[in-house]
Structure 1
Amino acid sequence: MDLFGMFRRRDAPPSSDAPPPQAMASEGAVFDGLNDPALYEFMRYGAATVTESGASVTTKTALRNTTVLRCVSLIAFAIGMLPLHLRRKDDKTKAQDHPLFRVLYRRPNAWQTAFEFRSLMAQRALIDGNAYALIVRSGNRILQLVPLESKRVQVTQRSDWSLEYRVDRGPQGTVILPQSDVFHVRYGISEDGISGVSLVKQAAEAIGLAQQAQKAAARLFRNGMMVGGALKHPGKLSPEAYDRLRASMNDDTGAENAHRWKILEEGMELASTGASGKDSQSVEQQKLQIEDIARPFGVPRPLLNLDDTSWGSGIDVLGQLFVRYSLNPWFEAWEQAIERSLLSDADADVFEAKFNAGALLRGSMLDQAEFFAKGLGSGGHTPWLHPDEPREMMDMPQRDDLPPAMGQQAGEQQNEP
C-alpha cells in the first residue's frame, strides 16, 4: 500500500468509467492522480509553474530541457572559468597581499574550487534569480564563502531598510543572518529591488511547450507506427508469394543489407514513404522553441548548436556580442556585489574586483598579431604597449632580455628612409 492509500475512502469500489483521481496544488497545479511523478516533484521542490500547455515547470524539470541546460551551462561556466581578480584601482595591479584575493581567485572554501563555487552561484542566480553564500570571518578577515541553497533562504527588509536572511537549516532549525553575513548575487531584473527574478519562471510557457512537444515525440516513438515503405498489389496476393516476400524482408534488415534490390511478385509495385509536411512542421516548431527559450538568457543561435549560416568569420563577432550583452551584466552584478558585501568602505576606495574577459574577446591569431604589432609600434604607429604586456595577455612569462623600448625602436626603424 502506498502512503496515500491510508487516506482513501473505501465506501465503494472505484468505477471503471470514473476519471482518475486528481490532486490539487497551489497556483492551480493539477496532477494526474496521487502516483503522478509531478506530484512528487511538487512535494520535494515546492510549487511549480503551471503553463497553458498543461506542463508543470519547476527549476529541476527545466534543467532537463537541453536548451535551458545549454544556456545555463554557457553562462555559468563562463563566470566560473574566467579569472576574478582583486586589484588596486590606481595602477590596476593585482592585490595578492589582500586576504580576499585568495578567496575569490583560488579557494573560496575548504571543499570547492573557485570554478565550482562561481559556477554553482551563477547557476542558482540564473535558475532561481538569487544566489547566496555565508561569509565566514575571523575578525575582519574573510576566510570562506559557503554557498546556501536558494530555496532555503527568505529575504526580508527591516524597518531600517537593511536586509535580513532567514535560512532554513532543516533539522537544525532556522537561523536569521544579517546582511553583513551574506554574499548575495541577484539577477538584475527585480520586482521589489531585493530579490532577483527567476529566468526559468519567466520563460515557463516556452519551456512547458517544449516539454509537451518532447513528450509527444517520445510517445510517437514508443507507441506510434512508423512505416518505411509499402508494397502495392493490383489484386489478391497468394499465400505462397506472401510467405516468400515476408522471408525476403526479414533477410534484408540491418545495415549490412542496405540498398539491396528486391524481387516483387504478381505485378506488385514498391512505394516509399518520406517525411510528411506534418513531420517537417514539428521539426521547425522545435527550432522555434529553442530560440524562444534561449531569448531570455541572451544566448545567440550558433552557441546553441543550431544549423545556422553564421558560422565562420562571423562567429567571432557573435562571441563578442555574447560577452558584451549577455555576460557583461552578470560580471557587473558580481563585481558590485563583491564591493557591497565583501569589502569595507575603506577597502572599496582602494580595491575593486574585476573579471578578465580578454580570453573570450580575443579574435583569430592573425587579428591578435596585427593588434599587438600596432601596439608595439609596427608600421609607423605610435607604440602604446610594453613588450611584456602582449606576453601577459597570451599567458606567457615575462622575458628579461627584451629592452623596455624595443617596440619604440622598431617603430623608429620603420620610419627611417
Structure 2
Amino acid sequence: MTPTITASFGSFETKAAPAASGVAGPEPWLLEMWGAVPALAGPAVTPASAMSCMPVKAAVELIAGALGTVPAGIFRSEGGGKTLDASHPAHPLVALDACPWMTAGKMREQLTTDALLTGNGVARANVVEDRVVELNPLRPGQVDIEFDPITTEPHYRVQWIGGSEVLRHDQVMHVSAPCSLNGVSGTAPIVHARQAISLALALEAHAARLFARGGRPSGLLRLDQHATSDTIKQIGATWSALNAGDQSGKTAVLPKGVLFEQLGLSSVDAQFMELRTFAIHEIARAFNVPPTLLAELSKSTLNNSEVLGRQFVQFTLLPWVQAFQDAYRRLLIPVQDRQTYSVIFDLDDLLRADSTARAALITALRSTGSATANDVRALQGLPSRPDGDRLENPYTTSNAAPAANPAPSDD
C-alpha cells in the first residue's frame, strides 16, 4: 500500500501521495549517491560546497600541500642503515614525475585532496613489460571499488566513455582516508563533519545577508490607522527600495502615520562569532588539524603553536605518509625485493626546530659520538668532506703523548 501524507488546510483535510525523489526534491539516499551529504543547518555538503567553506579549504590545502612537498625516494637497506638508490627503476615515479604531465609531488597532492573530499584517491598504473612506467590519477566519480564475495579482494571498476574496465588491486595506486569501515574504502572527513560544515556555510550566508542590509537586523513599520493589504505591500516595497542594501544608512523619510521601530539583536546574533569559532574547531577535529593552523589564533601562544606544529606532523601527516609508503611499496617494489628496498618520506624539514634547538641537537650528536661531521653536513644539505667520517668528539682534545714504541728485546 502506498503511504500517504496528510496535510491540514483550515477545516478540511486532503491526502496526497509523496512526491517521487528527483532533482527538485531529492531524498537523502539520492543525495549521497551523488556525493551530496544532507545536513540540518544549511545546504547539502558536497566536495564543491565543502571547499567553499574556508576552514575546510584551509585544512585540505594544508594536508595535501604538505604531502606534495615532502621529499620521497626509493631506499636500499645496507650495513644496518638505508641509502637512497636513485638508480632504482621506480625512483623517478616517487621522486620526480608520476607521468609526463604531472610531477610525483603534484600527484600525491591530488590523491590526498580526492581522499579528503571523497574518501579515496586512485591512480592507474601504466605497465610496460612488467614494469610500472607512469601513474595516471583517476577522477573520484570515475572509480567504483568492488569486492570479491569469497576472497574479499578489492578490484576497481573504472568508467570510461562508452564502457568500463575492471582493474586488479595491483594495477592501481589506492590511497584512502584514514577512517575506513572495511579496511579498503575510506570515508571522507567531510562526511563526518557535514553538520559543522553546513553550519559554517549557513553562518557565512547569514553574515552576508546581514551586512547586505547594512549590518543591522530588520525592523517594523507601524501604521497608526488601518490600511489595505495593497497599501501595506506598497509601503514595504518603497521602504526596501529606499533604505535597504546599498541605500542603507541614509536618512529615512516616512509618510504621515508611519513609524519605524528597529528590532534588537537576538541572543543567537549576539553569539555569532562564538558560533563561527565553534564551527572552525569542529572542522579542525574532523580533519585532525590543530585550529591554529587554520588561522584560529584565539588561544594560541608562542609555545603551544610550536608544539601543535609538531603534533600536526606526528598525528596528522604520519598516517597519510604511511598510507602512501604502503601504496608505493605494493605497486612498485616486487615481493622478493621488499626486504631490501623501501619507500621513505623525509619529514626532517617539517620537524626542524629553531636554529638554537637545532644547534644543541647537533652538538649532542657530535659530543656523544653518535654522528660524524659528514652525517651532520648531510642533515644541513651540505656536501661531505674527505676528513668528515671520524666519530671523534671535536669539543675535547687529548694532551697525552703518543705511546712510545717498545724497546727491542735482546732475544
What TM-score do the two structures reach when normalised by structure 2? 0.75
Q: Greater CA deviation, 340-349 or 122-131?
A: 340-349
Which secondary structure does the structure 2 equivalent of 1:220 belong to? helix
Q: Which residue of 2 aligns with 1:84?
A: 72
Is residue 385 of structure 2 the alignment partner of residue 399 of structure 1? Answer: yes
The one-letter amino acid of 2:207's match is: A
Deviations 1:133-175 (A, max 9, x none): 0011111221101001112101111234322211112x24211
Structure 1 counterpart of 2:157: 166
**What is the CA–CA distance in structure 1 between the aligned matches of 2:176 and 2:197, rounded to whole Å?**
22
Alpha-carbon separation, structure 2, partners of 1:225 and 1:89: 65
Q: Does 1:287 align with 2:301?
A: no
The answer to whether 1:386 aligns with 2:387 is no
Return the offset for 1:54. Answer: 3.9
How much has 1:415 moved relative to structure 2?
A: 9.6
Look at both structures and tell me which one has the larger radius of gyration over its CA atoms.
2
Unaligned runs of 5+ in 2: 1-21, 218-248, 250-263, 401-411
Post-superposition CA distance 1:364-406 (Å, at most 9, x none) = 10000111011111xxxx2111111222212222233x4422x
Letter in 2 for 1:164: H
Question: Does 1:347 pair with 2:337?
Answer: yes
Task: Report if the CA contact (8 A) 1:128-1:150 is conserved.
Answer: yes
Q: For 1:225 and 1:303, how far apart are their aligned partners in 2?
A: 29
Letter in 2 for 1:290: I
Task: State the match for 1:300 in structure 2.
Answer: 290
RMSD: 2.6
Residue correspondence of structure 1 range 297-336 to structure 2 within 5 A: 297-336=287-326
Alignment match, 2:48: 60
Does structure 1 residue 211 correspond to structure 2 residue 196?
A: no
Q: In structure 2, how many angstroms separate the alpha carbons of the residues matched to 1:70 and 1:414?
A: 56
The one-letter code sitting in structure 1 at the alignment partner of 2:53 is: N
Moved more, 348-357 or 274-283: 274-283
Report if aligned partners of 2:366, 2:393 keep a CA contact under 8 Å in 1: no
> In the alignment, what sits opposite 2:28?
27
Q: CA deviation at 1:84?
A: 1.1
Query: Matched residues in 2 for 1:63 and 1:145: separation?
Result: 26
1:72 aligns with 2:60: yes
In structure 1, the gaps of 5 or more residues are 1-20, 30-41, 228-252, 254-273
Kept in 2, the 8 Å contact 1:183–1:342? The answer is: no
In structure 2, relative to structure 1, the CA distance for the partners of 1:28 and 1:194 (3 Å cut) is: closer
**1:339-373 Cα shifts (integer Å, max 9, x gaps):** 22322101212111111111111111000011101
Instruction: Report the counterpart of residue 259 of structure 2 in structure 1.
Output: none
CA distance 1:415–1:332, shift in 2 (3 Å): farther
**Cα distance, 1:359–1:226 mapped onto 2, change above 3 Å:** same
SS in structure 2 of the partner of residue 56 of structure 1? coil
The equivalent residue for 2:177 is: 187
Partner of 1:11: none
Determine if the alignment matches structure 1 residue 221 to structure 2 residue 206.
no
TM-score normalized with structure 1 length: 0.74
1:118 equivalent in alignment to 2:119: no
Cα distance in 2, alignment partners of residues 122 and 301 from structure 1: 20
Give the superposition deviation at 1:24.
1.5
Among 122, 131, 134, the residue aligned to 1:141: 131
Richer in helix (by share): 1
Q: Which residue of 1 aligns with 2:354?
A: 364
8 A Cα contact 2:93 2:134, kept in partner: yes
**Structure 2 match to 1:412:** 396
Tell me how far 1:97 sits from its aligned partner: 1.3
Q: CA deviation at 1:414?
A: 8.2
With over 3 angstroms needed to count, the CA separation of the structure-2 counterparts of 1:414 and 1:85, relative to structure 1, is: farther
Contact 1:53 1:212 in 2 (8 A): yes
Q: Which one-letter code corresponds to 2:384 in the other structure?
A: Q
- DSSP-derived class of the 2:302 partner: coil
Q: 1:226 to 1:339 in 2, by over 3 A?
A: same
Aligned to 1:199: 189
Greater CA drift, 204-213 or 330-339: 330-339
Give per-residue Cα distances to partners, 1:105-148, cap 9 Å, x unaligned: 01110001122111101111111111100011111221101001
Question: Is the 8 Å Cα contact of residues 88 and 352 (structure 1) preserved in structure 2?
Answer: yes
Q: Deviations for 1:259-294, whole angstroms, at most 9, x for unmatched residues? A: xxxxxxxxxxxxxxx999765510111011000111
Distance 1:330 1:125 in 2: 10
Give 1 or 2: higher strand fraction: 2
Q: What secondary structure does 2:181 align onto?
A: coil
- Cα distance between partner residues in 1 of 2:398 and 2:210: 70
Q: Provide the secondary structure at the position in 1 that maps to 2:344.
A: strand
Q: Does 1:48 align with 2:36?
A: yes
How many Å apart are 1:194 and its aligned residue?
2.5
Q: Distance in 1 between matches of 2:193 and 2:328?
A: 28
In 1: Cα distance, 2:53 partner to 2:180 partner: 25
Number of residue pairs aligned between Structure 1 and Structure 2: 331
